Structure 1
Amino acid sequence: MKLLMYSVRADELENLKSIEQKYDVEIATTDKPLNLDTVDLAKGFDGITVQQHGKIDDPLIYKKLHDFGIKQISLRITGYDIINFVEAQKYDLKITNVPAYSPRSVSELVLADVMALLRHLRETHLREDKSDFAWNELQAREIHNLTVGIIGAGKIGSAVARIFKALGAKVIVSDPVKRPELFDTVEYVDYDTLLTQADVVTMHTPMTNFMHHFMNIDKFKQMKNDAIFINASRGPVVNTADLIKALDDKELAAAAVDTFEGEAGITGVDLSSEGFENKYLSKLLQMPNVIVTPHIGFYTDAAVKNMDLISSIDAIKIIKGEEPLHLVK
């Protein structure tokens, strides 16, 4: 049995050796993403796994995979909005993802972002670069006195809730699905209540039509002027132009984004020599009250290992004619 893994990084290679040994599978890798130019690399393989931000939308990709005898695309990520499901269904390709590679990985980044913004660490470092060690405007708030609002309390959002609850914060959640296991940790409220009451608003939703640009200027205006906004879900859930305007107009105190609109081809790539074209990202990077990270919420040793392992197991199951554990319907 032979698997081809697209967009493989050097840090994944050791994980793949153990998968090969344990599951009697031969794994080949490419550092290229799956697209029309690279789909032919899959010829001669039994299955593929993919991890990328760029969309897989060309119908010819799906036709070729089907013609090669491949029956699935196993994503080494949680989000599946990169898939053209109409074409996948047309060519009988099953799609799997990794819904819970390590919820703690993203939640711990959110905690780090909130702590850094509350303690004004970015502003402090920028001042220190100019030998300014004054305290003005650097007074912080303490987490246990705050209300943290979570939009989307699935596996990751639930982990975020438990971390902030453990630190003494009041945690409120907006999510159409109410989890009984969170009833002793959070209070479920509607979106309007969350936005108006929370001192920290953090997004942990999938990318759906409903969530596209869910956070816009009207919702930012509902938030407290001293509130912090965090996006560690998908870039397009936020209207970036509106976020920038809200920050410029001081309708928000600060923000941290681990994912942003137009990130494909930017995150995970060293562009120090050639630069990039994304006017919104350029603006955010210049703001002293904004933290931008290149979609690294998932990027921990435990999470990467689980992403490789879980996606490979699902691919192997489909190849063997078995039902995968994480089928995306």
Structure 2
Amino acid sequence: MEILAFGVHAEERPLIERAFRDHHEVRCLDVSLDRDTAPIAAGYEVVSTCVNAELDGRVLEVLVAGGTRMIAQRSTGFDNIDLHVAERLGMTVARVSSYSPYAVAEFAWALALAVNRRIVRAGIRTRDFDFRLGGLMGRDLYGRTAGVLGTGRIGEAFARIAHGFGMRLLGWDIAESRACMELGMKYVHKDRLLAESDLVSLHVPLMPETQHLIDADALKTMRDDAILVNTSPGGLIDTEALVAELREGRFSGVGLDVYEAEAGLFFADRSLEAVEDDTLARLVTFPNVLVTSHQAYYTEDALGQIVDTTVRNVLDYRAGRRSEHVLVAPS
């Protein structure tokens, strides 16, 4: 059987090909799966997708009509897949339930440190041999408060690093983490966490109840000089509301590895195109904002785990087995 993998990055391709070598053939494409590219999958029983694939009902119907029966998504997130339609069509959908939490937690801290100490601005200046310090002042993190929204494996890893910096820890989640409490974390209401935290980092899955978790009211609750970091789904933040607050001169720094309307934008070169997304275009102009291209997971360790799990998901599908990674399977 040959598998068709969409949205494969150049550095990811050898990992995928090597992992499948002893099991199935795999064809890797750098284009993402959407309504325009779905017909390419005709004749492929198994299709592997990336997190920014557009798997709405129409795309799923095109896939099934072409013979696709299984989708192996190479991510933990799956809000891009219409699971109800997939179930109705009798498809199997699997994801990667978890991978290295350190990849994402460490990158969240890279964003936090970069915006706090104005690293990007400093690098641009020194490249032009401008060595002035004006506008580069940051703050010590020691003794300040880190608010962690979501204390699962990634949130815990983020909290451990914060503890290493000597920060006070506040947490918010539906379930309290014993490991985080052992670090001294105190669980509080979301509004209190936002009001008291110097640094707020999001580590929450995107669900209907968490859509725009950080909305206009939440942003107004935050301190004017706070740092906001998001390496979880972009839909957790109301971006238009964030832009409105930034226009008022609020927040010491904002680090975003995600964007709520990133599908069709991220993972592609848009440098020679007119920017049609006015919100994103405005967002990246603020000097205290750093936006990266959904790369927090992009380490050798995490990618290796993602690919290995994807291979196991395909092998389980072929063997009729069902694991914790399966989201939908024919009854």
The question of a shared fold, defined as TM-score above 0.5 by the shorter chain, is answered with yes
Aligned-partner SS, 1:16: helix
CA contact (8 A) 2:45 2:70 kept: no
Deviation at 1:126, TM superposition (A): 5.3
Aligned-partner SS, 2:327: coil
1:1-329 superposed matches below 5 A: 1-22=1-22, 24-59=23-58, 61-67=59-65, 70-125=68-123, 128=126, 133-185=131-183, 186-328=185-327
Structure 2: 5+ residue stretches without partners: none
Question: Identity rate of aligned residues, in percent?
Answer: 28
Aligned AA (2:180): L
Structure 1: 5+ residue stretches without partners: none
Deviation at 1:166, TM superposition (A): 2.1
Q: Provide, for residues 254-301 of structure 1, a one-character-per-residue CA deviation record: whole Å limited to 9, x for no partner.
A: 211111132122211112222322112211221111111111111112
TM-score with structure 1 setting the length: 0.91
What is the rounded CA distance, in whole Å, between the counterparts of 1:303 and 1:44 in structure 2? 30
Aligned AA (1:157): G
TM-score with structure 2 setting the length: 0.91
CA contact (8 A) 1:47 1:319 kept: no
What is the rounded CA distance, in whole Å, between the counterparts of 1:62 and 1:127 in structure 2? 48
What is the rounded CA distance, in whole Å, between the counterparts of 1:130 and 1:10 in structure 2? 31
Deviation at 1:87, TM superposition (A): 0.5
CA contact (8 A) 1:247 1:253 kept: no
Aligned-partner SS, 1:229: strand
CA contact (8 A) 2:257 2:295 kept: yes
Aligned AA (1:148): A
Aligned AA (1:120): R
What is the rounded CA distance, in whole Å, between the counterparts of 1:120 and 1:12 in structure 2? 31
Deviation at 1:253, TM superposition (A): 1.8
Aligned-partner SS, 1:183: helix
Aligned-partner SS, 2:34: coil
Query: RMSD of the TM alignment (CA)?
Result: 2.1
Aligned AA (1:140): G
Deviation at 1:304, TM superposition (A): 1.8
Deviation at 1:163, TM superposition (A): 1.6
- Distance verdict in 2 for CA 1:136–1:9, change over 3 Å: closer
What is the rounded CA distance, in whole Å, between the counterparts of 1:163 and 1:206 in structure 2? 21
Aligned-partner SS, 2:93: strand
Give the number of equivalent residue pairs.
327
What is the rounded CA distance, in whole Å, between the counterparts of 2:312 and 2:48 in structure 1? 10
Deviation at 1:177, TM superposition (A): 1.9
What is the rounded CA distance, in whole Å, between the counterparts of 2:9 and 2:136 in structure 1? 39
Deviation at 1:167, TM superposition (A): 2.2
- Distance verdict in 2 for CA 1:136–1:40, change over 3 Å: closer
CA contact (8 A) 1:122 1:289 kept: no
- Distance verdict in 2 for CA 1:320–1:66, change over 3 Å: farther
Deviating more after overlay: 79-88 vs 122-131 = 122-131
- Distance verdict in 2 for CA 1:309–1:275, change over 3 Å: farther
What is the rounded CA distance, in whole Å, between the counterparts of 1:120 and 1:242 in structure 2? 23
CA contact (8 A) 1:47 1:72 kept: yes
CA contact (8 A) 2:230 2:255 kept: yes
CA contact (8 A) 1:122 1:288 kept: no
CA contact (8 A) 2:116 2:252 kept: no
Deviation at 1:68, TM superposition (A): 5.1
Aligned AA (1:217): A
Deviating more after overlay: 219-228 vs 129-138 = 129-138
What is the rounded CA distance, in whole Å, between the counterparts of 1:183 and 1:253 in structure 2? 28
What is the rounded CA distance, in whole Å, between the counterparts of 1:212 and 1:291 in structure 2? 22
Aligned-partner SS, 1:178: coil
What is the rounded CA distance, in whole Å, between the counterparts of 1:25 and 1:130 in structure 2? 51
What is the rounded CA distance, in whole Å, between the counterparts of 2:87 and 2:141 in structure 1? 47
Aligned-partner SS, 1:323: coil
What is the rounded CA distance, in whole Å, between the counterparts of 2:81 and 2:105 in structure 1? 26
CA contact (8 A) 1:71 1:318 kept: no
Q: Provide, for residues 135-154 of structure 1, a one-character-per-residue CA deviation record: whole Å limited to 9, x for no partner.
A: 44533222222211111122
